[in-house]
Amino acid sequence: IALALPLWEDRVARGLFRYDVTACETKVIPGELGFVAQLNEGRHLKKRPTEFRVDRVLQPFDSAKFNFTKVGQEEVLFRFENGGGDNSYFLENAPSTEGDHAPSVVAINVSPIEYGHVLLIPRVLDRLPQQIDPESFLLALHMAAEAASPYFRLGYNSLGAFATINHLHFQAYYLSVPFPVEKAPTKKIPLAKCALNSGVKVSKLTNFPVRGLVFERGNTLKDLADVVTNACIWLQENNVPFNVLISDSGRRIFVFPQCYAEKQALGEVSQDLLDTQVNPAVWEISGHIVLKRRTDFKEASEASAWRLLAEVSLSEERFEEVKACIFEATGLTESDEEEESSESPYASSSSVPRASSHMSEGCLVLQ
């Protein structure tokens, strides 16, 4: 993935982006969690509008709407595939054959939020709608592991949770400070022994404005991917909009069921929050808030960030209902042990999670 940055900068030099994101003002808001605010006055004017219903998480692919088969070839950086071995490697000119499956590609986001902002588009020519499946989610974890940097995160937005294109994709970029959600304390959910075969540990966020689940470790990358995929499939099939943050080189995954668009439709969001024009998707929920108006940027505080994001969260009662259904769908069972509180690796020290030097299952990068 170190390939991505020089290629991304090459596309900057070619003028392929709609604005210069490096010129956007950014600041860490004083406070316990350190929310990050960015002033990006042009993004909402230059970003592609949403072209589908926001009240349905599952919608069929529509080739008449914008999709990633319509992007210019110069926006594509390289192919990214699971090589099936223990090592990762790069082929500069890999020939494609008639028997090849549809390629998964990494492309620039022409309306970037941050430096190195790219899109991972699994099996782009298969024209998959924006919904999680096991193969694609595992590919996203491979990308996070291959990057081997705690500053590189991937995000996913479902339809109804501020995805703007109904064509399967993950977003990713570098941010050189911890996301606030990565610093938030968590409470471990004790699991019954029969549920521990995968090695996955589950916690829920505490003292954070958006309720969410945290999935960690796993005996293998695939074990972790399978558990989170099953959780996401349940959310999709039950029309619960959600966002996913893949953190710590693929070892830590945050899942946020959310209801902001539903509250908007019901007229339950205050007008002053609507006036900010902030659509709280995965990056905003994680604590990197893109603001459109200078006055909002100037007055940004931890209290204002908290107030916005609290509107995104499910109620405690609804969250517990959804959590119980997710556990059933993933085959996890809570035990009767006392829950443990834990601090994030960021919360107790200035260190960042250790970046892995290589992947347990190799990836093949093709240009």
288 is catalytic: no
Say what the alpha-carbon torsion angle 352, 358, 363, 367 is, to the nearest 10 degrees.
Answer: 80
Residue 235: Cβ-neighbour burial (10 angstroms; 0-12, 13-18, 19+)? buried
Cα→Cα distances 263→256, 271, 312, 331, Å: 16, 12, 8, 31
DSSP 346: H
Residue 119 near residue 108, CB atoms below 8 Å: yes
Q: How far is Cα 279 from Cα 24, in angstroms, rounded to an integer?
A: 18
DSSP 276: T
Q: How far is Cα 158 from Cα 6, in angstroms, rounded to an integer?
A: 30
Tell me which of 117, 142, 167, 169 is the catalytic residue.
169
Q: How far is Cα 87 from Cα 279, in angstroms, rounded to an integer?
A: 39
**Residues classed as catalytic:** 169
